Structures are given as structure tokens and as C-alpha cells.
A and B are shown apart, each in its own frame.
Chain A
């Protein structure tokens, strides 16, 4: 059983379209992060959210942390081919000592020109 359920697992869209990726859990997280990973590379941190209801924007990317700190979403506006990659959500469980990250399964995004 996956502690962090990420959906969809695959997404293929045309340039200019909007999309949302979801990350859900029944557990509470002290913080949640979103990463982007390209083939042959390690995940690269995009954002960290720590407060329930928090919204952060990074250019065309909007990240939201659920009020109860059990879920998060990533919304991309006007996707571009350069957004193609594997998007991963990862959280640190509440009361976890040491910052061990629990990852979702990932969303493989393909943006076609």
C-alpha cells in the first residue's frame, strides 16, 4: 500500500494546455515537497510547503498544501515541452525524526509541441 498516492501516473498533453497533479494520503505530513526528475538525473526540489492551506507559485507552477496537511496538488498553466519529466511528491510524516521522505509513485508528464 502506497502511503502517498499520486495521480495521474501518466499524462500526455499538448503545449498550452493546463494540468493538475494530485498527491493524497490518509496520514498527516509536517511538510510536503515537489520534485522534478529528468532521465539519468536525481530529483530536483521545486518547492516545500509546510502550512495547511499554503499556496506557493513558481512561474507557471502553483503548489497547494491541503488544510489538513494530508494532500497536495501541483497545477501547471500553459504547459510547455520543457515541462516534460517525472514529477514526484514527497512528504515527511508528522512526528518523524530525521526528515525521512516518503515519495509518491510519480507522474510522468509529456508535453507535445
Chain B
């Protein structure tokens, strides 16, 4: 597609529930990134995919968070046993090859609210 698409745009869930957030990157972009942004703060890195593999998952806060990209295109961020502290905007970005000079394009994000 023309841009990075994230669905849903908003998600409200109850504490303890499981959620999945989807990212559809720009066609042909091999690198895909997930970030989390709290209100008024800069995005915080979660995980980076190069193709189908997670090249760097050092930003995932704990084992409740998991992400996949089985075919090297669409990615899903999965959060188990959600907690109120997980409430944030989850941003996805893609780039042509993971090099900063090729530029990053961000989606509009999924606003997750855990009540």
C-alpha cells in the first residue's frame, strides 16, 4: 500500500485480556519496527524485524509481549494478560532495508486503553 496501515486505530480492553495489534507495512519494505508512545513522550523501541525474523527484540518490556511477521510483510504485536500500564499508542514503522538513509514511514498507531 501507499503507507503503513495499523489496525485497529483504537482498542479498549479489560485488564487481563489478550490483544492483537496489526501492522501492514509499505509493500517491499523489508524492515519493520514496533514502538510504544506514552502521552507527551517520544516513542520507545520495542522490536525490529528484518524479513520474517526478529533481528532485535531488546525493547519488549516482558514476556507478555510478543510479535510475529510470518511472511515478511504484515506483523502482529500480541499482548497477553494486559495491564493498565500497557495503555499507550503503539506505532509501527517500515523502511526499505533497515538503513536510516532509506527513510522510515510510520503508521498512525493503535491507541490501546486497558481499563
Residues on A facing B (Cβ under 8 Å): 4, 6, 30-31, 33, 40-45, 48, 50, 86, 88, 90, 92, 97-106, 108
Contacts and interface: CB of A to CB of B under 8 A. Distances in A.
Given A98-B48, A103-B42, A106-B40, A92 B91 contact: no
Contacts of B99: 99
A88 B99 CA distance: 19
Contacts of A45: 103-105
A104 B43 CA distance: 8
A30 B91 CA distance: 23
Given A42-B106, A42-B109, A48-B103, A99 B41 contact: no
B26 interface: no
17 contacts: A4-B42, A31-B100, A42-B91, A43-B91, A43-B106, A44-B106, A45-B104, A45-B105, A50-B101, A88-B42, A97-B55, A99-B31, A99-B98, A101-B43, A102-B45, A104-B42, A108-B40
A102 B58 CA distance: 13
B50 interface: yes
Given A31-B101, A48-B101, A99-B104, 17 more contacts: A6-B42, A33-B100, A42-B108, A44-B106, A45-B105, A86-B40, A90-B43, A92-B100, A98-B48, A98-B50, A98-B98, A99-B31, A99-B98, A100-B33, A100-B48, A102-B45, A103-B35
Interface residues of B, number: 28
A4 B44 CA distance: 12
A97 B100 CA distance: 10
Given A31-B101, A42-B4, A92-B100, A98 B55 contact: yes
Contacts of A97: 55-56
Interface in B52-90: 55-56
